[in-house]
């Protein structure tokens, strides 16, 4: 049980640029809701800082960091069917709360699953009653645990930025908070790049590729639509894979890529658990950071969405299950290798020309394509510096997803808390398939380990 004690709006500490900021074509294909949200858990710091001192430090540093990151203090609006950003400095929402559960300490929350249990630690907003033009783009909640530990929950509108940009912001904010004003907010290393025209289409060129990521993924054989599958109960699981297990998977998959190895393993286990026809088509949708794939490269400090969805070649259940793991990993690799500079520019042109298809890209949108059974939708975030978020009372002992779309097949691969190369997988799957998936996931990992002994 969490009790909200106060809520306020934090505005930039200095005047910031105002007016409309045009959002890129890649911003348009992201969801407007705040998610997936992040939770950072911190153990009690035995310094002399009181909760009042800590709260003041967070608020003051947030106000300062909003000067270079001023778009976060603005509001979205819709003009001629496109989302645009009104940089009006209306501010971000900051919530303070107390966890009333006296029996729990920080360590009890390490197995946080993004379910109803943790929703109170996540800052929320009522999308039904608050108009788009009035919704804060950044939501922050500081929750004090009974043991003295702290939980910081953060949610940002995905239309404004991707995970890579968000964590650059978070880690700039935490460094500013830790230095308690001794670090110049105008430091060159802290400055984000707001030129979103870098990812816009030039003119109206026709796309040069067949963009399969823009098309509906395979449906279950014999089903005319996906409504029945979408209405089935969904469960969530948190799976952990050690560095040694990852290395065995990579050898089995004949790849140097952690993502390819884990995603291939997940794909095989999903096919087994779902027990579909061997002729059932299936695919994986993933999202890739294109900063280093574009020419010229998109600067690392670009603040926006520099990501592009990509779909694997369509495979059959029988192909996935009868071939070695390396076969599946190769299909996943093909979906990444296709993202050349030419393909990225073609995708930009596609989005520009086919505005009516934009909603189909949005995962979790009522109008978006359903990438559940017989498919998967995997987000890989293992390169994110999620454990660098030190506000001044130490690095987080745990980072987790507070929420993400309640859609079958949706998953995220995150870095483990130990900093030892392990990963954590957040997975949503139809309840009828979850236990079988976990069984196959762990049994096959064990078999791969034995095969390497």
Tell me: do 105 and 221 sit in the same domain: no
What's the rounded Cα separation, in Å, for the pair 266 and 109?
Answer: 25
Number of Cβ within 10 Å of residue 202's Cβ equals 10
Output the CA torsion 255→258→263→268 (10° steps). Answer: 50
Domain that holds residue 332: 214-452
Q: What's the token pair of residue 132?
A: 């788009």
Report the pLDDT value the prediction gives residue 179, as an integer from 0 to 100: 82
Tell whether 209 is covered by a domain: no
For every residue of 103-138, DSSP letters joined together read: T--GGGGTT--SSGGGGGGS----TTTS-GGG--SE
* Structural domains of the chain, count: 2
Q: The tokens 């192909």 sit on which residue?
A: 319
Tell me: do 377 and 232 sit in the same domain: yes
Catalytic residues: 158, 390
Tell me: do 130 and 85 sit in the same domain: yes
Those residues of the chain that have pLDDT short of 70 are: 46-48, 102-105, 107-117, 180-189, 202-204, 355-367, 418, 449-453
100 CB-contact burial (10 Å; exposed 0-12 / middle 13-18 / buried 19+) = exposed
Report the pLDDT value the prediction gives residue 117, as an integer from 0 to 100: 66
Tell me: do 192 and 238 sit in the same domain: no
Report the pLDDT value the prediction gives residue 198, as an integer from 0 to 100: 85
What's the mean pLDDT when you consider all of the chain? 89
What's the rounded Cα separation, in Å, for the pair 166 and 173?
Answer: 11
Domain containing residue 42: CATH number:
3.30.559.10
Contact 241, 418 (CB under 8 A): no
H or E element in which residue 432 lies: helix 431-452
Tell me: do 247 and 301 sit in the same domain: yes
Report the pLDDT value the prediction gives residue 110, as an integer from 0 to 100: 62
Tell me: do 192 and 218 sit in the same domain: no
Domain-terminating residue out of 141, 163, 196: 196
What's the rounded Cα separation, in Å, for the pair 159 and 29?
Answer: 8
What's the rounded Cα separation, in Å, for the pair 8 and 55?
Answer: 12
For 308, list phi and psi in degrees, rounded to 5: -140, 130
pLDDT in tens, 350-404: 888 876 666 666 655 666 788 999 999 999 999 999 999 999 888 998 888 877 7
For every residue of 177-188, DSSP letters joined together read: HHHTT-S-TT-G
What's the rounded Cα separation, in Å, for the pair 309 and 268?
Answer: 21
Tell me: do 296 and 161 sit in the same domain: no
* Nearest to 389, CA basis, from 113, 73, 193, 166: 166
Report the pLDDT value the prediction gives residue 343, as an integer from 0 to 100: 94
Report the pLDDT value the prediction gives residue 114, as an integer from 0 to 100: 64
pLDDT in tens, 288-323: 999 999 999 999 999 999 999 999 999 999 999 999
What's the rounded Cα separation, in Å, for the pair 361 and 285?
Answer: 10
Contact 372, 348 (CB under 8 A): no
What's the rounded Cα separation, in Å, for the pair 220 and 232?
Answer: 14
E strand residue ranges, 276-351:
281-282, 284-289, 307-311, 315-316
């Amino acid at each position: 049980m969490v009790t909200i004690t106060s809520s306020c709006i934090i505005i930039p500490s200095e005047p910031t640029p105002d007016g409309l900021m045009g959002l890129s074509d890649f911003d348009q294909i992201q969801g407007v809701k705040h998610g997936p949200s992040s939770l950072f858990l911190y153990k009690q710091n035995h310094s002399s800082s009181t909760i009042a001192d800590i709260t003041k430090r967070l608020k003051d540093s947030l106000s300062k960091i909003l000067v270079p990151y001023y778009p976060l203090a603005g509001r979205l609006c819709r003009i001629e069917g496109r989302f645009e950003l009104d940089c009006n400095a209306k501010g971000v929402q900051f919530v303070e709360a107390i966890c009333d559960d006296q029996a729990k300490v920080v360590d009890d929350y390490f197995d946080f699953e993004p379910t109803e249990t943790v929703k109170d630690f996540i800052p929320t907003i009522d999308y039904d009653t608050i108009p788009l033009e009035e919704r804060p783009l950044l939501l922050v909640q500081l929750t004090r645990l009974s043991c003295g530990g702290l939980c910081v929950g953060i949610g940002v509108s995905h239309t404004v930025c991707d995970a890579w940009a968000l964590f650059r912001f978070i880690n700039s904010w935490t460094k500013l908070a830790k230095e308690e004003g001794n670090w110049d907010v105008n430091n060159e290393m802290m400055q984000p790049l707001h030129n979103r025209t870098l990812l816009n289409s030039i003119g109206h060129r026709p796309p040069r590729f067949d963009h399969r990521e823009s098309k509906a993924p395979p449906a279950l054989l014999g089903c005319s639509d996906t409504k029945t599958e979408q209405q089935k109960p969904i469960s969530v699981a948190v799976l952990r894979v050690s560095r040694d297990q990852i290395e065995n998977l990579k050898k089995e998959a004949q790849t140097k890529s952690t993502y390819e190895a884990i995603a291939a393993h997940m794909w095989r286990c999903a096919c087994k658990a779902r027990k579909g026809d061997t002729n059932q088509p299936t695919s994986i949708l993933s999202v890739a950071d294109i900063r280093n794939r574009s020419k010229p490269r998109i600067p690392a400090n670009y603040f926006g969405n520099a990501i592009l969805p990509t779909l694997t070649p369509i495979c059959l259940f029988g192909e996935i299950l009868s071939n070695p793991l390396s076969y599946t990993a190769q299909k996943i690799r093909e979906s990444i290798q296709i993202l050349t500079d030419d393909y990225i520019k073609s995708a930009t042109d596609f989005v520009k020309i086919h505005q009516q298809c934009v909603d189909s890209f949005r995962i979790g949108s009522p109008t978006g394509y359903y990438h559940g059974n017989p498919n998967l939708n995997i987000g890989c975030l293992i390169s994110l510096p999620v454990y660098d978020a030190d506000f001044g009372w130490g690095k987080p002992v745990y980072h987790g997803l507070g929420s993400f779309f309640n859609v079958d097949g949706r998953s995220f691969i995150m870095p483990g808390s130990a900093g030892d190369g392990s990963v954590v997988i957040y997975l949503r799957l139809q309840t009828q398939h979850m236990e079988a998936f976990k069984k196959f996931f762990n049994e096959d990992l064990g078999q791969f380990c034995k095969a390497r002994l």
